[in-house]
Amino acid sequence: MRIGVLALQGAFIEHQRAVERLGMECRQVRTRSDLSGLDGLILPGGESTVQGRLLSEQSLTQVLRGEIEGGMPVFGTCAGLILLAKHISNDESVYLGTMSVIVRRNAYGRQLGSFCVTSDMGAIKDFPMVFIRAPYIERVEGEAATLATVDGHIVAARERNMLATSFHPELVSDLRVHEYFLDMVRGRT
């Protein structure tokens, strides 16, 4: 299996290292040609506005949307969640718009509002969740399902081939969320 990680901006190196620690090949994606031969894709945290602009400048928005709608497994963390969302409640922007969720950008405040908790994500028990200027999901719609909540807010969801978290699993040594994503990829290949 070959996993790509969008490497335009944000915490892509950390995701690459997590995937490689799990014994998988990982390629940084910056251009359309980098998507060739991938079995799954990770959209990292960072700044969603910048990532959205760079996706457009690199002519990747429509291509990625097509890959995701065609069934390629994708995992968005923090800003990646915002890129996937069909609706952003406090912003008129829509980037990829493939996941049936309504997201609130910077819902937990600014950088100083960052925090860590341990919580469950479905069958993944006691997972350390790191939130940095994090969004949360206000509502799941359609086929999207809640996987985790923290303080009454949805922080992880899945819809068919799409997995999204508000938190940053790439910043902890626990690889179970990445393993969950790789199981999604294996289920498709």
What tokens does 14 get? 């950390």
What tokens does 17 get? 């290292």
Identity of residue 69: E
Q: Is 170 a catalytic residue?
A: yes
Phi, psi of 161 (to 5 degrees): -90, 10
The one catalytic residue among 15, 78, 159, 178: 78
The one catalytic residue among 14, 67, 159, 170: 170
Query: Could you give the count of Cα atoms lying within 13 Å of 142 in the half-sphere of its Cβ?
Result: 15
Q: Is 15 a catalytic residue?
A: no
The whole-angstrom separation of Cα 150 and Cα 134 is: 12
What tokens does 131 get? 């939130």
Q: Is 168 a catalytic residue?
A: yes
The one catalytic residue among 14, 159, 168, 178: 168
- Catalytic residue ranges: 78, 168, 170
